Structure 1
Protein backbone atom coordinates (compact mmCIF):
# COMPACT_ATOMS: atom_id res chain seq x y z
CA UNK A 1 0.00 0.00 0.00
CA UNK A 2 1.15 3.54 -0.84
CA UNK A 3 -0.02 6.64 1.01
CA UNK A 4 -0.23 10.01 -0.73
CA UNK A 5 -0.90 13.25 1.14
CA UNK A 6 -2.32 16.31 -0.61
CA UNK A 7 -2.03 19.86 0.70
CA UNK A 8 -2.59 23.14 -1.13
CA UNK A 9 -2.82 26.93 -0.99
CA UNK A 10 -0.29 27.40 1.77
CA UNK A 11 -0.17 31.22 1.45
CA UNK A 12 2.68 31.61 3.91
CA UNK A 13 2.18 34.39 6.43
CA UNK A 14 2.72 36.90 7.85
CA UNK A 15 3.42 39.12 4.90
CA UNK A 16 7.06 40.24 4.92
CA UNK A 17 7.95 43.91 5.04
CA UNK A 18 7.08 45.44 1.69
CA UNK A 19 8.72 48.53 0.20
CA UNK A 20 6.72 50.91 -1.97
CA UNK A 21 8.87 49.99 -4.96
CA UNK A 22 7.64 46.38 -4.59
CA UNK A 23 4.01 47.38 -4.99
CA UNK A 24 3.95 48.19 -8.67
CA UNK A 25 1.18 46.80 -10.86
CA UNK A 26 -0.70 43.75 -9.68
CA UNK A 27 1.19 43.52 -6.39
CA UNK A 28 -0.46 46.76 -5.26
CA UNK A 29 -4.00 45.39 -5.56
CA UNK A 30 -2.89 42.07 -4.08
CA UNK A 31 -1.34 43.81 -1.09
CA UNK A 32 -4.55 45.75 -0.47
CA UNK A 33 -6.58 42.56 -0.68
CA UNK A 34 -4.28 40.92 1.88
CA UNK A 35 -4.47 43.82 4.29
CA UNK A 36 -8.22 44.35 3.98
CA UNK A 37 -9.40 40.71 3.77
CA UNK A 38 -6.87 37.94 3.86
CA UNK A 39 -4.49 38.63 6.74
CA UNK A 40 -7.09 37.47 9.28
CA UNK A 41 -8.34 34.59 7.11
CA UNK A 42 -4.99 32.88 6.43
CA UNK A 43 -2.48 32.42 9.24
CA UNK A 44 0.73 30.60 10.10
CA UNK A 45 -0.53 29.05 13.35
CA UNK A 46 -3.26 27.13 11.56
CA UNK A 47 -0.80 25.99 8.90
CA UNK A 48 1.78 24.82 11.44
CA UNK A 49 -0.76 22.73 13.35
CA UNK A 50 -2.09 21.15 10.16
CA UNK A 51 1.38 20.27 8.89
CA UNK A 52 2.36 18.77 12.24
CA UNK A 53 -0.72 16.55 12.05
CA UNK A 54 0.05 15.62 8.43
CA UNK A 55 3.61 14.61 9.29
CA UNK A 56 2.28 12.16 11.88
CA UNK A 57 0.67 10.21 9.01
CA UNK A 58 4.14 9.31 7.62
CA UNK A 59 2.88 9.46 4.04
CA UNK A 60 5.06 7.94 1.36
CA UNK A 61 4.69 11.12 -0.71
CA UNK A 62 3.22 14.60 -0.31
CA UNK A 63 1.79 16.63 -3.20
CA UNK A 64 1.51 20.42 -2.85
CA UNK A 65 -0.73 22.03 -5.46
CA UNK A 66 0.53 25.56 -5.34
CA UNK A 67 0.03 29.05 -4.00
CA UNK A 68 2.92 28.84 -1.61
CA UNK A 69 3.24 32.64 -1.69
CA UNK A 70 0.92 35.65 -1.72
CA UNK A 71 2.57 38.28 -3.95
CA UNK A 72 5.53 36.16 -5.09
CA UNK A 73 7.97 38.62 -3.56
CA UNK A 74 11.58 37.37 -3.58
CA UNK A 75 11.52 37.08 0.22
CA UNK A 76 8.28 35.05 0.05
CA UNK A 77 9.72 32.69 -2.55
CA UNK A 78 12.83 32.12 -0.43
CA UNK A 79 10.71 31.52 2.67
CA UNK A 80 8.56 29.03 0.77
CA UNK A 81 11.69 27.13 -0.19
CA UNK A 82 12.64 26.83 3.47
CA UNK A 83 9.08 25.74 4.31
CA UNK A 84 9.28 22.96 1.72
CA UNK A 85 12.53 21.72 3.20
CA UNK A 86 10.87 21.56 6.61
CA UNK A 87 7.89 19.71 5.12
CA UNK A 88 10.05 16.89 3.80
CA UNK A 89 12.85 15.75 1.55
CA UNK A 90 12.44 16.64 -2.12
CA UNK A 91 12.40 12.93 -3.01
CA UNK A 92 9.10 12.65 -1.10
CA UNK A 93 7.53 16.06 -1.82
CA UNK A 94 6.72 17.89 -5.05
CA UNK A 95 4.94 21.11 -6.06
CA UNK A 96 2.56 22.00 -8.87
CA UNK A 97 2.72 25.83 -8.90
CA UNK A 98 -0.27 28.13 -8.44
CA UNK A 99 -1.20 31.53 -9.81
CA UNK A 100 0.16 33.32 -6.71
CA UNK A 101 3.55 31.69 -7.36
CA UNK A 102 3.53 33.32 -10.82
CA UNK A 103 1.96 36.56 -9.63
CA UNK A 104 4.14 38.78 -11.80
CA UNK A 105 6.41 38.05 -14.78
CA UNK A 106 9.60 36.31 -13.71
CA UNK A 107 8.27 35.07 -10.36
CA UNK A 108 7.68 31.48 -11.44
CA UNK A 109 11.17 31.25 -12.90
CA UNK A 110 12.59 32.44 -9.57
CA UNK A 111 10.48 29.85 -7.75
CA UNK A 112 11.75 27.13 -10.06
CA UNK A 113 15.31 28.21 -9.32
CA UNK A 114 14.92 28.32 -5.54
CA UNK A 115 12.55 25.38 -5.07
CA UNK A 116 14.63 23.36 -7.50
CA UNK A 117 14.21 19.64 -6.82
CA UNK A 118 10.69 20.13 -5.43
CA UNK A 119 9.52 21.24 -8.88
CA UNK A 120 11.38 18.78 -11.07
CA UNK A 121 11.14 15.14 -12.09
CA UNK A 122 11.16 12.91 -15.14
CA UNK A 123 10.16 14.77 -18.30
CA UNK A 124 9.84 13.97 -21.99
CA UNK A 125 12.21 16.76 -23.03
CA UNK A 126 13.78 19.93 -21.66
CA UNK A 127 10.36 21.42 -20.81
CA UNK A 128 9.62 21.62 -17.08
CA UNK A 129 5.95 20.52 -17.12
CA UNK A 130 4.51 18.04 -16.80
CA UNK A 131 7.07 16.19 -14.74
CA UNK A 132 6.66 12.74 -13.21
CA UNK A 133 7.53 11.29 -9.82
CA UNK A 134 7.20 7.53 -9.32
CA UNK A 135 6.70 5.87 -5.94
CA UNK A 136 6.23 2.16 -6.36
CA UNK A 137 3.13 1.72 -8.53
CA UNK A 138 2.06 5.34 -7.99
CA UNK A 139 2.97 7.95 -10.63
CA UNK A 140 2.48 11.62 -9.73
CA UNK A 141 2.20 13.83 -12.80
CA UNK A 142 2.67 17.51 -11.99
CA UNK A 143 1.25 20.05 -14.44
CA UNK A 144 1.46 23.83 -14.34
CA UNK A 145 -1.47 26.22 -14.79
CA UNK A 146 0.49 29.12 -13.25
CA UNK A 147 0.79 32.26 -15.36
CA UNK A 148 1.05 35.97 -14.50
CA UNK A 149 -2.20 37.84 -15.09
CA UNK A 150 -3.64 41.34 -14.93
CA UNK A 151 -4.94 42.81 -11.66
CA UNK A 152 -8.19 41.29 -10.35
CA UNK A 153 -7.65 38.08 -12.34
CA UNK A 154 -6.61 34.70 -10.94
CA UNK A 155 -6.97 32.58 -14.05
CA UNK A 156 -4.74 29.69 -15.00
CA UNK A 157 -3.69 28.44 -18.41
CA UNK A 158 -3.21 24.96 -19.86
CA UNK A 159 -2.02 25.16 -23.45
CA UNK A 160 -1.77 22.78 -26.38
CA UNK A 161 1.95 22.16 -25.97
CA UNK A 162 1.53 21.00 -22.36
CA UNK A 163 -1.55 19.00 -23.38
CA UNK A 164 0.47 17.14 -26.00
CA UNK A 165 3.18 16.27 -23.48
CA UNK A 166 0.63 15.24 -20.84
CA UNK A 167 -1.08 12.93 -23.34
CA UNK A 168 2.20 11.15 -24.09
CA UNK A 169 3.06 10.84 -20.41
CA UNK A 170 -0.35 9.42 -19.47
CA UNK A 171 -0.19 6.94 -22.35
CA UNK A 172 3.25 5.67 -21.28
CA UNK A 173 2.31 5.41 -17.62
CA UNK A 174 -1.04 3.81 -18.42
CA UNK A 175 0.62 1.16 -20.57
CA UNK A 176 2.95 0.45 -17.64
CA UNK A 177 -0.08 0.11 -15.31
CA UNK A 178 0.73 2.91 -12.86
CA UNK A 179 -1.86 4.61 -10.66
CA UNK A 180 -1.70 7.97 -12.42
CA UNK A 181 -2.36 10.97 -10.19
CA UNK A 182 -2.36 14.32 -12.00
CA UNK A 183 -1.66 17.53 -10.08
CA UNK A 184 -2.82 20.93 -11.29
CA UNK A 185 -3.53 24.06 -9.27
CA UNK A 186 -6.68 25.21 -11.06
CA UNK A 187 -9.62 22.79 -11.18
CA UNK A 188 -10.29 21.39 -14.67
CA UNK A 189 -13.93 20.40 -14.21
CA UNK A 190 -16.61 22.62 -15.81
CA UNK A 191 -18.51 23.21 -12.55
CA UNK A 192 -15.73 25.39 -11.13
CA UNK A 193 -14.91 27.63 -14.07
CA UNK A 194 -15.26 31.42 -13.90
CA UNK A 195 -14.04 34.19 -16.24
CA UNK A 196 -11.89 35.80 -13.55
CA UNK A 197 -10.41 32.76 -11.80
CA UNK A 198 -10.99 29.68 -13.95
CA UNK A 199 -8.66 27.59 -16.08
CA UNK A 200 -8.14 28.67 -19.67
CA UNK A 201 -7.76 25.39 -21.53
CA UNK A 202 -9.93 23.36 -19.18
CA UNK A 203 -11.67 21.72 -22.15
CA UNK A 204 -8.28 20.79 -23.60
CA UNK A 205 -7.24 19.23 -20.29
CA UNK A 206 -10.44 17.18 -20.17
CA UNK A 207 -9.92 16.02 -23.75
CA UNK A 208 -6.53 14.58 -22.78
CA UNK A 209 -8.07 12.74 -19.83
CA UNK A 210 -10.98 11.52 -21.97
CA UNK A 211 -8.56 9.98 -24.46
CA UNK A 212 -5.78 8.67 -22.24
CA UNK A 213 -7.32 8.43 -18.77
CA UNK A 214 -5.94 8.87 -15.26
CA UNK A 215 -6.85 7.43 -11.91
CA UNK A 216 -6.99 10.65 -9.87
CA UNK A 217 -6.77 14.43 -10.36
CA UNK A 218 -5.88 16.71 -7.43
CA UNK A 219 -6.17 20.50 -7.36
CA UNK A 220 -6.33 23.51 -5.08
CA UNK A 221 -7.17 27.16 -5.89
CA UNK A 222 -10.80 27.24 -4.72
CA UNK A 223 -9.94 27.06 -0.98
CA UNK A 224 -12.80 24.57 -0.70
CA UNK A 225 -13.10 20.84 -0.13
CA UNK A 226 -14.71 19.38 -3.26
CA UNK A 227 -15.27 16.13 -5.10
CA UNK A 228 -16.17 16.09 -8.80
CA UNK A 229 -15.28 13.90 -11.76
CA UNK A 230 -14.53 14.13 -15.45
CA UNK A 231 -14.86 11.50 -18.12
CA UNK A 232 -12.11 9.03 -18.94
CA UNK A 233 -11.91 6.31 -21.61
CA UNK A 234 -12.98 3.54 -19.22
CA UNK A 235 -14.42 5.26 -16.15
CA UNK A 236 -15.09 8.62 -14.54
CA UNK A 237 -11.91 10.13 -13.11
CA UNK A 238 -12.24 11.64 -9.61
CA UNK A 239 -11.28 15.33 -9.37
CA UNK A 240 -10.62 16.26 -5.74
CA UNK A 241 -9.93 19.71 -4.34
CA UNK A 242 -8.69 20.53 -0.87
CA UNK A 243 -9.22 23.56 1.37
CA UNK A 244 -6.42 26.09 1.88
CA UNK A 245 -3.87 24.74 4.34
CA UNK A 246 -3.65 28.05 6.22
CA UNK A 247 -7.37 28.92 6.32
CA UNK A 248 -8.36 29.89 9.86
CA UNK A 249 -11.55 28.82 11.55
CA UNK A 250 -14.29 31.41 11.51
CA UNK A 251 -13.25 32.78 8.13
CA UNK A 252 -15.99 33.94 5.81
CA UNK A 253 -14.28 33.13 2.51
CA UNK A 254 -12.97 29.57 2.80
CA UNK A 255 -13.41 26.16 4.35
CA UNK A 256 -11.14 25.73 7.40
CA UNK A 257 -7.68 24.26 6.82
CA UNK A 258 -7.59 20.63 5.70
CA UNK A 259 -5.48 18.03 3.93
CA UNK A 260 -6.32 14.73 2.22
CA UNK A 261 -4.65 11.36 2.63
CA UNK A 262 -5.03 8.65 -0.01
CA UNK A 263 -4.28 4.98 0.58
CA UNK A 264 -3.62 3.27 -2.74
CA UNK A 265 -3.20 -0.45 -3.34
CA UNK A 266 -3.19 -2.79 -6.33
CA UNK A 267 -5.91 -5.45 -6.19
CA UNK A 268 -5.55 -8.01 -8.95
CA UNK A 269 -6.14 -6.14 -12.19
CA UNK A 270 -7.64 -3.08 -10.50
CA UNK A 271 -7.02 -0.55 -7.76
CA UNK A 272 -8.24 0.11 -4.26
CA UNK A 273 -8.06 3.75 -3.13
CA UNK A 274 -9.48 5.25 0.04
CA UNK A 275 -9.47 8.96 0.84
CA UNK A 276 -9.48 10.44 4.31
CA UNK A 277 -9.92 14.17 4.84
CA UNK A 278 -8.36 15.63 7.98
CA UNK A 279 -8.71 19.17 9.24
CA UNK A 280 -10.64 21.67 11.23
CA UNK A 281 -14.41 21.86 11.56
CA UNK A 282 -16.09 25.23 11.69
CA UNK A 283 -16.63 24.58 15.40
CA UNK A 284 -14.14 23.00 17.79
CA UNK A 285 -10.40 23.39 18.16
CA UNK A 286 -9.18 19.92 17.16
CA UNK A 287 -7.99 18.53 13.85
CA UNK A 288 -10.26 15.57 13.11
CA UNK A 289 -10.92 13.06 10.35
CA UNK A 290 -13.88 14.74 8.66
CA UNK A 291 -14.48 12.23 5.89
CA UNK A 292 -13.53 8.74 4.79
CA UNK A 293 -14.63 7.42 1.41
CA UNK A 294 -13.66 4.72 -1.01
CA UNK A 295 -12.71 6.03 -4.45
CA UNK A 296 -11.88 2.67 -6.04
Structure 2
Protein backbone atom coordinates (compact mmCIF):
# COMPACT_ATOMS: atom_id res chain seq x y z
CA UNK A 1 0.00 0.00 0.00
CA UNK A 2 1.16 3.54 -0.81
CA UNK A 3 0.07 6.56 1.20
CA UNK A 4 0.22 9.76 -0.84
CA UNK A 5 -0.27 13.25 0.62
CA UNK A 6 -1.28 16.21 -1.54
CA UNK A 7 -0.73 19.84 -0.57
CA UNK A 8 -0.75 22.96 -2.72
CA UNK A 9 -0.61 26.75 -3.01
CA UNK A 10 1.72 27.45 -0.12
CA UNK A 11 2.22 31.17 -0.90
CA UNK A 12 4.81 31.53 1.85
CA UNK A 13 4.24 34.67 3.90
CA UNK A 14 5.15 37.33 4.72
CA UNK A 15 6.71 38.92 1.66
CA UNK A 16 10.43 39.65 2.04
CA UNK A 17 11.86 43.15 1.73
CA UNK A 18 11.03 44.50 -1.71
CA UNK A 19 12.99 47.23 -3.47
CA UNK A 20 11.59 49.60 -6.08
CA UNK A 21 13.54 47.70 -8.73
CA UNK A 22 11.78 44.47 -7.71
CA UNK A 23 8.39 46.01 -8.52
CA UNK A 24 9.06 46.72 -12.16
CA UNK A 25 6.67 44.93 -14.54
CA UNK A 26 4.13 42.39 -13.41
CA UNK A 27 5.38 42.25 -9.83
CA UNK A 28 3.88 45.69 -9.18
CA UNK A 29 0.33 44.47 -9.78
CA UNK A 30 1.05 41.29 -7.81
CA UNK A 31 2.40 43.32 -4.91
CA UNK A 32 -0.67 45.56 -4.86
CA UNK A 33 -2.95 42.52 -5.04
CA UNK A 34 -1.10 41.01 -2.07
CA UNK A 35 -1.35 44.20 -0.02
CA UNK A 36 -5.01 44.86 -0.80
CA UNK A 37 -6.54 41.39 -1.23
CA UNK A 38 -4.26 38.59 -0.10
CA UNK A 39 -2.13 39.65 2.86
CA UNK A 40 -4.78 38.56 5.35
CA UNK A 41 -6.48 35.75 3.41
CA UNK A 42 -3.15 34.00 2.66
CA UNK A 43 -1.47 34.76 5.96
CA UNK A 44 -0.12 31.23 6.38
CA UNK A 45 -0.72 31.30 10.13
CA UNK A 46 -1.88 27.69 10.23
CA UNK A 47 0.61 26.35 7.69
CA UNK A 48 3.11 24.84 10.14
CA UNK A 49 0.38 23.08 12.10
CA UNK A 50 -1.13 21.75 8.86
CA UNK A 51 2.23 20.39 7.67
CA UNK A 52 2.94 18.87 11.09
CA UNK A 53 -0.48 17.18 11.03
CA UNK A 54 0.20 15.86 7.54
CA UNK A 55 3.62 14.52 8.51
CA UNK A 56 2.08 12.78 11.54
CA UNK A 57 0.09 10.68 9.03
CA UNK A 58 3.45 9.22 7.89
CA UNK A 59 2.79 9.50 4.15
CA UNK A 60 5.10 7.51 1.91
CA UNK A 61 5.21 10.39 -0.55
CA UNK A 62 4.04 14.02 -0.74
CA UNK A 63 2.92 15.80 -3.91
CA UNK A 64 3.14 19.62 -3.87
CA UNK A 65 1.20 21.15 -6.76
CA UNK A 66 2.80 24.55 -6.97
CA UNK A 67 2.66 28.20 -5.96
CA UNK A 68 5.21 28.02 -3.18
CA UNK A 69 5.97 31.72 -3.74
CA UNK A 70 3.97 34.90 -4.31
CA UNK A 71 6.08 37.10 -6.60
CA UNK A 72 8.95 34.64 -7.25
CA UNK A 73 11.47 37.01 -5.71
CA UNK A 74 14.91 35.49 -5.15
CA UNK A 75 14.46 35.55 -1.37
CA UNK A 76 11.06 33.83 -1.72
CA UNK A 77 12.48 31.08 -3.91
CA UNK A 78 15.30 30.42 -1.46
CA UNK A 79 12.87 30.39 1.48
CA UNK A 80 10.60 27.96 -0.39
CA UNK A 81 13.53 25.61 -0.82
CA UNK A 82 14.06 25.65 2.93
CA UNK A 83 10.35 25.10 3.53
CA UNK A 84 10.39 21.99 1.32
CA UNK A 85 12.91 20.45 3.68
CA UNK A 86 10.35 20.75 6.50
CA UNK A 87 7.91 18.67 4.43
CA UNK A 88 10.40 15.87 3.87
CA UNK A 89 13.50 14.83 1.94
CA UNK A 90 13.52 15.14 -1.83
CA UNK A 91 13.31 11.35 -2.17
CA UNK A 92 9.77 11.45 -0.77
CA UNK A 93 8.56 14.90 -1.92
CA UNK A 94 8.15 16.32 -5.40
CA UNK A 95 6.83 19.57 -6.81
CA UNK A 96 5.09 20.67 -9.95
CA UNK A 97 5.50 24.45 -10.29
CA UNK A 98 2.66 26.97 -10.25
CA UNK A 99 2.15 30.23 -12.09
CA UNK A 100 3.44 32.23 -9.10
CA UNK A 101 6.67 30.22 -9.23
CA UNK A 102 7.12 31.37 -12.85
CA UNK A 103 5.81 34.88 -12.20
CA UNK A 104 8.38 36.62 -14.40
CA UNK A 105 10.85 35.36 -17.03
CA UNK A 106 13.71 33.45 -15.40
CA UNK A 107 11.86 32.74 -12.15
CA UNK A 108 11.12 29.08 -12.91
CA UNK A 109 14.74 28.46 -13.84
CA UNK A 110 15.79 29.92 -10.49
CA UNK A 111 13.33 27.64 -8.71
CA UNK A 112 14.68 24.63 -10.59
CA UNK A 113 18.17 25.56 -9.41
CA UNK A 114 17.23 26.29 -5.78
CA UNK A 115 14.77 23.41 -5.29
CA UNK A 116 16.96 20.96 -7.17
CA UNK A 117 15.88 17.33 -6.65
CA UNK A 118 12.40 18.35 -5.49
CA UNK A 119 11.77 19.35 -9.12
CA UNK A 120 13.48 16.36 -10.72
CA UNK A 121 12.88 12.75 -11.65
CA UNK A 122 13.04 10.44 -14.63
CA UNK A 123 11.97 12.24 -17.78
CA UNK A 124 11.50 11.56 -21.48
CA UNK A 125 14.22 12.87 -23.82
CA UNK A 126 16.01 14.59 -20.94
CA UNK A 127 13.44 17.38 -20.67
CA UNK A 128 12.56 18.91 -17.32
CA UNK A 129 8.82 18.12 -17.56
CA UNK A 130 7.04 15.86 -17.21
CA UNK A 131 9.18 13.80 -14.88
CA UNK A 132 8.18 10.66 -13.03
CA UNK A 133 8.95 9.22 -9.62
CA UNK A 134 8.16 5.58 -8.90
CA UNK A 135 7.18 4.33 -5.45
CA UNK A 136 6.34 0.62 -5.34
CA UNK A 137 3.26 0.25 -7.59
CA UNK A 138 2.65 4.00 -7.89
CA UNK A 139 4.04 6.41 -10.48
CA UNK A 140 3.88 10.12 -9.61
CA UNK A 141 4.17 12.19 -12.79
CA UNK A 142 4.89 15.92 -12.48
CA UNK A 143 3.83 18.18 -15.34
CA UNK A 144 4.38 21.93 -15.59
CA UNK A 145 1.74 24.47 -16.57
CA UNK A 146 3.81 27.33 -15.14
CA UNK A 147 4.67 30.15 -17.56
CA UNK A 148 5.20 33.90 -17.14
CA UNK A 149 2.11 35.91 -18.10
CA UNK A 150 1.07 39.53 -18.52
CA UNK A 151 -0.31 41.55 -15.57
CA UNK A 152 -3.76 40.49 -14.36
CA UNK A 153 -3.40 37.03 -15.93
CA UNK A 154 -2.78 33.75 -14.08
CA UNK A 155 -3.11 31.35 -16.99
CA UNK A 156 -1.08 28.20 -17.50
CA UNK A 157 0.08 26.40 -20.62
CA UNK A 158 0.34 22.76 -21.67
CA UNK A 159 1.89 22.44 -25.11
CA UNK A 160 2.39 19.78 -27.78
CA UNK A 161 5.98 18.99 -26.78
CA UNK A 162 5.04 18.27 -23.17
CA UNK A 163 1.98 16.35 -24.34
CA UNK A 164 4.13 14.01 -26.44
CA UNK A 165 6.42 13.31 -23.50
CA UNK A 166 3.48 12.78 -21.14
CA UNK A 167 1.95 10.31 -23.60
CA UNK A 168 5.19 8.30 -23.62
CA UNK A 169 5.45 8.26 -19.83
CA UNK A 170 1.79 7.26 -19.40
CA UNK A 171 2.17 4.44 -21.90
CA UNK A 172 5.31 3.07 -20.26
CA UNK A 173 4.00 3.28 -16.70
CA UNK A 174 0.62 1.88 -17.79
CA UNK A 175 2.30 -1.11 -19.43
CA UNK A 176 4.22 -1.62 -16.17
CA UNK A 177 0.90 -1.89 -14.33
CA UNK A 178 1.44 1.17 -12.14
CA UNK A 179 -1.13 3.46 -10.52
CA UNK A 180 -0.45 6.69 -12.41
CA UNK A 181 -0.87 9.97 -10.53
CA UNK A 182 -0.49 13.08 -12.70
CA UNK A 183 0.33 16.39 -11.01
CA UNK A 184 -0.37 19.73 -12.71
CA UNK A 185 -0.94 23.11 -11.08
CA UNK A 186 -3.80 24.37 -13.25
CA UNK A 187 -6.94 22.20 -13.34
CA UNK A 188 -7.47 20.51 -16.72
CA UNK A 189 -11.22 19.91 -16.50
CA UNK A 190 -13.55 22.17 -18.51
CA UNK A 191 -15.61 23.24 -15.48
CA UNK A 192 -12.74 25.32 -14.09
CA UNK A 193 -11.48 27.14 -17.19
CA UNK A 194 -11.48 30.93 -17.43
CA UNK A 195 -9.77 33.29 -19.90
CA UNK A 196 -7.75 35.01 -17.17
CA UNK A 197 -6.68 32.04 -15.04
CA UNK A 198 -7.40 28.81 -16.95
CA UNK A 199 -5.12 26.31 -18.65
CA UNK A 200 -4.23 26.94 -22.28
CA UNK A 201 -4.01 23.47 -23.74
CA UNK A 202 -6.59 21.92 -21.41
CA UNK A 203 -8.25 20.13 -24.34
CA UNK A 204 -4.89 18.71 -25.39
CA UNK A 205 -4.20 17.52 -21.84
CA UNK A 206 -7.58 15.79 -21.68
CA UNK A 207 -6.99 14.15 -25.05
CA UNK A 208 -3.69 12.68 -23.86
CA UNK A 209 -5.37 11.27 -20.74
CA UNK A 210 -8.26 9.88 -22.83
CA UNK A 211 -5.86 8.16 -25.25
CA UNK A 212 -3.27 6.87 -22.79
CA UNK A 213 -5.05 6.66 -19.45
CA UNK A 214 -4.22 7.62 -15.87
CA UNK A 215 -5.65 6.75 -12.47
CA UNK A 216 -5.62 10.12 -10.67
CA UNK A 217 -4.97 13.79 -11.43
CA UNK A 218 -4.01 16.26 -8.69
CA UNK A 219 -4.04 20.05 -9.05
CA UNK A 220 -4.08 23.29 -7.10
CA UNK A 221 -4.52 26.88 -8.32
CA UNK A 222 -8.20 27.39 -7.47
CA UNK A 223 -7.67 27.53 -3.67
CA UNK A 224 -10.76 25.34 -3.40
CA UNK A 225 -11.43 21.73 -2.49
CA UNK A 226 -12.94 20.10 -5.57
CA UNK A 227 -13.68 16.73 -7.15
CA UNK A 228 -14.25 16.37 -10.89
CA UNK A 229 -13.37 13.79 -13.52
CA UNK A 230 -12.26 13.58 -17.15
CA UNK A 231 -12.35 10.75 -19.66
CA UNK A 232 -9.62 8.13 -19.52
CA UNK A 233 -8.63 5.18 -21.67
CA UNK A 234 -10.71 2.60 -19.80
CA UNK A 235 -12.51 4.62 -17.11
CA UNK A 236 -13.22 8.12 -15.88
CA UNK A 237 -10.19 9.66 -14.17
CA UNK A 238 -10.77 11.57 -10.90
CA UNK A 239 -9.46 15.15 -10.89
CA UNK A 240 -8.87 16.32 -7.31
CA UNK A 241 -8.13 19.88 -6.24
CA UNK A 242 -7.09 20.95 -2.77
CA UNK A 243 -7.51 24.23 -0.90
CA UNK A 244 -4.51 26.52 -0.44
CA UNK A 245 -2.33 25.36 2.44
CA UNK A 246 -1.78 28.97 3.50
CA UNK A 247 -5.44 30.06 3.43
CA UNK A 248 -6.78 31.76 6.52
CA UNK A 249 -10.02 30.81 8.21
CA UNK A 250 -12.97 33.08 7.64
CA UNK A 251 -11.88 34.17 4.18
CA UNK A 252 -14.67 34.61 1.69
CA UNK A 253 -12.22 34.12 -1.19
CA UNK A 254 -10.80 30.69 -0.40
CA UNK A 255 -11.58 27.49 1.46
CA UNK A 256 -9.61 27.19 4.73
CA UNK A 257 -6.23 25.45 4.53
CA UNK A 258 -6.38 21.71 3.87
CA UNK A 259 -4.48 18.71 2.51
CA UNK A 260 -5.56 15.38 1.05
CA UNK A 261 -4.34 11.90 1.91
CA UNK A 262 -4.72 8.97 -0.50
CA UNK A 263 -4.26 5.30 0.32
CA UNK A 264 -3.51 3.31 -2.82
CA UNK A 265 -3.42 -0.49 -2.92
CA UNK A 266 -3.34 -3.14 -5.62
CA UNK A 267 -6.50 -5.22 -5.63
CA UNK A 268 -6.23 -8.18 -8.01
CA UNK A 269 -6.25 -6.69 -11.50
CA UNK A 270 -7.53 -3.36 -10.20
CA UNK A 271 -6.98 -0.79 -7.49
CA UNK A 272 -8.37 0.34 -4.19
CA UNK A 273 -7.92 4.05 -3.50
CA UNK A 274 -9.47 6.02 -0.66
CA UNK A 275 -9.16 9.75 -0.05
CA UNK A 276 -9.34 11.65 3.20
CA UNK A 277 -9.38 15.43 3.38
CA UNK A 278 -7.94 17.06 6.50
CA UNK A 279 -7.88 20.73 7.40
CA UNK A 280 -9.45 23.66 9.12
CA UNK A 281 -13.13 24.46 9.29
CA UNK A 282 -14.37 28.01 8.87
CA UNK A 283 -14.85 28.12 12.65
CA UNK A 284 -12.58 26.63 15.30
CA UNK A 285 -8.84 26.09 15.43
CA UNK A 286 -8.63 22.30 15.16
CA UNK A 287 -7.50 20.36 12.10
CA UNK A 288 -10.13 17.71 11.44
CA UNK A 289 -10.95 15.05 8.87
CA UNK A 290 -13.56 16.74 6.73
CA UNK A 291 -14.19 14.06 4.13
CA UNK A 292 -13.57 10.39 3.49
CA UNK A 293 -14.46 8.73 0.20
CA UNK A 294 -13.52 5.77 -1.93
CA UNK A 295 -12.23 6.66 -5.40
CA UNK A 296 -11.61 3.10 -6.61
TM-score relative to the length of structure 2? 0.99
Indicate the residue corresponding to 1:184 in structure 2: 184
Q: Say which SS state the counterpart of residue 91 (structure 1) adopts.
A: helix
What residue is the counterpart of 1:18 in the other structure?
Answer: 18
1:144-293 matches, cutoff 5 A: 144-293=144-293
SS of residue paired to 1:70: coil
Following the alignment from structure 1 to structure 2, what is the Cα–Cα distance between the partners of residues 104 and 182? 25
- 1:86 correspondence with 2:86: yes
Which string of whole-angstrom CA distances, capped at 9 and with x for unpartnered residues, describes residues 82-106 of structure 1?
0001110000000000000000000
SS in 2 for 1:208: helix
In structure 2, C-alpha distance between the alignment counterparts of 1:239 and 1:291, rounded to whole Å: 16
Report deviation, 1:45.
Answer: 2.0
- What does 1:114-133 correspond to in 2, within 5 Å? 114-133=114-133
Q: Which position in structure 2 is the counterpart of 1:2?
A: 2
Residue pairs, 1:94-105, within 5 angstroms: 94-105=94-105
Q: Which stretch shows the higher mean deviation, 280-289 or 150-159?
A: 280-289
Shift of 1:44: 2.9
Distance of 1:142 and 1:173 partners within structure 2: 13
What's the C-alpha RMSD, in Å, of the aligned pairs? 0.5
Number of matched pairs:
296
SS in 2 for 1:252: coil
Return the offset for 1:79: 0.2
| DSSP 3-state at the match of 1:271 | strand
**Higher mean Cα deviation, 65-74 or 279-288?**
279-288
Unaligned stretches of 5+ in structure 2? Answer: none
Task: Tell me the alpha carbon deviations over residues 19-61 of structure 1, each in whole angstroms, 9 at most, x when there is no partner.
Answer: 1110001000000000001010012321111101101001000
* In 2: Cα distance, 1:188 partner to 1:144 partner: 12
For residues 218-260 of structure 1, give each alpha carbon's deviation from its aligned partner in whole angstroms, at most 9, with x where no partner exists: 0000000000000011100000000000001011110000000
**1:142 counterpart residue number:** 142
Q: Which runs of 5+ in 1 are unaligned?
A: none
Task: Give the alignment's TM-score, normalised by structure 1.
Answer: 0.99
Q: CA deviation at 1:283?
A: 1.4
Question: Deviations for 1:174-201, whole angstroms, at most 9, x for unmatched residues?
Answer: 0000000000000000000000000000
Structure 1: which 4+ aligned runs deviate by more than 4 Å? none
* 2:264/2:274 contact within 8 Å kept: yes
